[in-house]
Amino acid sequence: MSTIGQTKRITPAQIEAMKGTRPIVSLTAYTTPIARLLDPHCDLLLIGDSLGMVLYGMESTVGVTLEMMIAHGQGVMRGAKKACVIVDLPFGSYQESKEQAFRNAARILKETGCNGVKLEGGEEMAETVAFLTHRGVPVFGHVGLMPQLINTTGGYRSLGRSDKEADKIRLDAKAIAEAGAFAIVVEGTVEPLAREITQSIAVPTIGIGASAACDGQILVSDDMLGLFNDFKPRFVKHFAELAPVISKAAEAYAEEVKARTFPGAEHIFQVKK
């Protein structure tokens, strides 16, 4: 098959090689139409397990299943042509053993065609990361605030102020980088520590709530698009305010339906005489 004229997708190895060149642009995407819109502007699109909260109204990411991740991964792959596409391994699909992690990561790669998987965890997951990367699965790490651990850590808050917390995040990032991750999300981490980690590991750090000192940034796309009126943590910037736009459109539609002004003549199929 000829590949002439096809746009090549950015690979995890290319993302890794971007360290020290320019900031890496990443966003989450969960559906085909949004992936189509974000793809031209992003180096990496993540089907984050945040979809459980963002799309399904769950209270945490713990209830997200492998099937949900695969279905949304397939959707994003249909819309994204250029960006490196990574799918989150959801809670319970990789922590049991490195074999379980490989089995489920392989399913994600085969059934979505994406470029790699992301998993949360530090030193305790290093063996699993090495096992996957040595067997052909590119791994995006995730340290600092780890939402899948909400039931044991007890809350969403920024980390790294105490020596104990900082030491743990430092060691976690080092272990995951040395195990072969091509890049690492650093979430909810104070700026001096995020900077220090970025300068001390060989692979790119992608920050969310971890300052501009990281090698790249990621946000949940629905957050940065302003789709939630009632959720705006300090680390989120609204680059648009879509919630009121959608509310106003729904209100206008309802009014026109009730007044029978929609559909108008231009929206109606007539029988030609």
Catalytic residue among 16, 59, 96, 187: 187
Alpha-helical (H) ranges within the chain are 12-17, 32-38, 51-54, 66-79, 98-112, 126-133, 150-153, 163-179, 191-200, 221-224, 242-259
Q: Is residue 146 involved in binding ligand KIV (CB under 6 A)?
A: no
Torsions phi, psi for 138 (to 5 deg): -65, 135
User: How crowded is residue 66: how many other Cβ atoms within 10 Å of its Cβ?
Assistant: 17
Using the structure block, give the residue that is written with the tokens 């085969």: 110
Given 49, 172, 215, 222, the residue binding ligand KIV (CB under 6 A): 49
| DSSP state, residue 25 | E
- Contact 179/156 with Cβ under 8 angstroms? no
Q: Which of these, 236, 239, 174, 163, lies nearest to 205 by C-alpha position? A: 174
Stretch that binds ligand KIV, among 42-50, 158-166, 241-249, 265-273 (CB under 6 A): 42-50
Residues 219-238 binding ligand KIV (CB under 6 A) are: 220
Q: Is residue 121 involved in binding ligand KIV (CB under 6 A)?
A: no
Q: Is residue 27 involved in binding ligand KIV (CB under 6 A)?
A: no
- Residue 255 annotated to the active site: no
Helix (H) and strand (E) counts for the chain?
11, 8
In angstroms, what is the minimal distance from the CB of 23 to ligand KIV? 16
In angstroms, what is the minimal distance from the CB of 147 to ligand KIV? 7
Q: Is residue 185 involved in binding ligand KIV (CB under 6 A)?
A: yes
Kindly determine how many residues on this chain lie close enough to bind ligand KIV according to the rule CB under 6 A: 11
Residues 243-272 binding ligand KIV (CB under 6 A) are: none
Catalytic residue positions?
Answer: 187
The contact set with ligand KIV (CB under 6 A) reads 28, 46, 48-50, 88, 142, 185, 208, 218, 220
